[in-house]
Amino acid sequence: MVISADPRSSKIVVIASSTGGVQALERIFSDFPAEIPPIVVVQHLPDGIARSFAYRLNNSLKCTVSEAKSGDIVRAGHILIAPGGLHIFLKENRGQLVVECFHGKRLHGVMPSADVLFESASQVLKRNAVGVILTGMGADGAGGLLKMRKSGSRTIGQDKETSIVYGMPKVAKSIGAVEFELPLNRISSKIMQLSCS
């Protein structure tokens, strides 16, 4: 079953980032209009730091930003940040899209792992998702983003020139997971375009 958090408007957006990602996310979010699609983020941060990051964003943006907890409903106008030290995935629960957070094995040496989130999006959302991979070391998220693209999702990767570390997006591009490679200053508008198409 393919479900939507808000069937009247937009696709669900899932974003992954690591080294340099805090700054990249702040730039993307600050460029968003007041009305935004549902967004779930994996940023590689330790426990406590992710909570502080979400709190800071919530106080500086027009939308609502919070650290995710199991059972949170994915809804328009709300950004959920994966908690430090826990994986996060999407699932359907009684007709609603919710997140589940759990402690598991590290993937690519990290937890939360973007692959866990992206793979759940490929299974639950299919064409009703936009996947974004930003600056970061390593390969986390590349395989999951490829699964998203193969399932019909639209995908975006940050370009080399604007990435602090062109690792995660580079690997994603090399395996064919990236549909649109863009500089940081064009990613927010592309997210909005794709999420409403």
Q: Which residues are catalytically annotated?
A: 18, 44, 140
Buried b (16+ CB within 10 A) or exposed e, 45-80: beeeebeebbeebeeebebebebbeeebebbbebbb
Would you say 133 and 172 are in contact if contact means Cβ atoms under 8 Å apart?
yes
Instruction: Please list the residues that pair with 180 across neighbouring strands.
Output: 156
Would you say 88 and 66 are in contact if contact means Cβ atoms under 8 Å apart?
no
Instruction: Report the first-to-last Cα separation within the chain, whole angstroms.
Output: 20
Residue whose C-alpha is closest to residue 133's, from 141, 123, 125: 141
Q: How many residues does the chain have?
A: 197
